[in-house]
Amino acid sequence: MATIDRRIIAFIRKHHVLTMATCAAHQPWCASLFYAYMEKENVFVVTSDANTRHLAEAAENPAIAGAIVLETKTVGLIRGLQFQGALLRPDEELLRQARRAYLHRFPFAILGNTPIWTLRPIFLKYTDNRLGFGKKIIVTL
């Protein structure tokens, strides 16, 4: 398995919202989600109401794409992560760990009763203009 560059891990840890794209019946959809990242397992942990379009589409087609971005108007500071992966319901053992990770990052989520999902990336493309204009780090897992 490929190793994920530490700069990518650091970028993921500095942010807390990702945009996830799903597709069903040839119709794309995007949703923004709070996330916790479990580095050892290489999964983003997300939660959302079971009746949302993005979860219904992921249940039909678990293949997703997504992005995490740093908003800036300064070209030399542009950074962002694009990824592909799968959104899946975790097994019982991973579910316990994922729930702990998510509640540790977002304690207010204890008030909700929404299902936990794990997003496992299989491809990462990180752009960091601080390393040089358009510099990309690509990881296939």
Per-residue confidence (pLDDT) for residue 110, from 0 to 100: 84
Q: Choose among 104, 116, 96: nearest CA to 45.
A: 116
Whole-number Å distance between alpha carbons of 93 and 96: 5
pLDDT, one tens digit per residue, over 75-132 is: 999 999 999 999 999 999 999 999 999 999 999 988 788 899 999 999 999 999 999 9
Per-residue confidence (pLDDT) for residue 70, from 0 to 100: 95
Match domain 6-132 to its CATH number in 1.10.260.40, 3.50.50.60, 3.40.50.1820, 2.30.110.10: 2.30.110.10
Letter string b/e over residues 84-122, b meaning 16 or more CB atoms within 10 A of that residue's CB: bbebbebeeebbebbbebbbeebeebeeeeeebbbbbbe
Per-residue confidence (pLDDT) for residue 113, from 0 to 100: 82
Average pLDDT over residues 51-74: 95
Q: Choose among 32, 30, 33: nearest CA to 21.
A: 30
Instruction: Assess whether pLDDT exceeds 70 at residue 25.
Output: yes
What end-to-end distance do the CA atoms of the chain give, in Å? 6
Whole-number Å distance between alpha carbons of 123 and 103: 26
Quote the DSSP letter at residue 87.
E
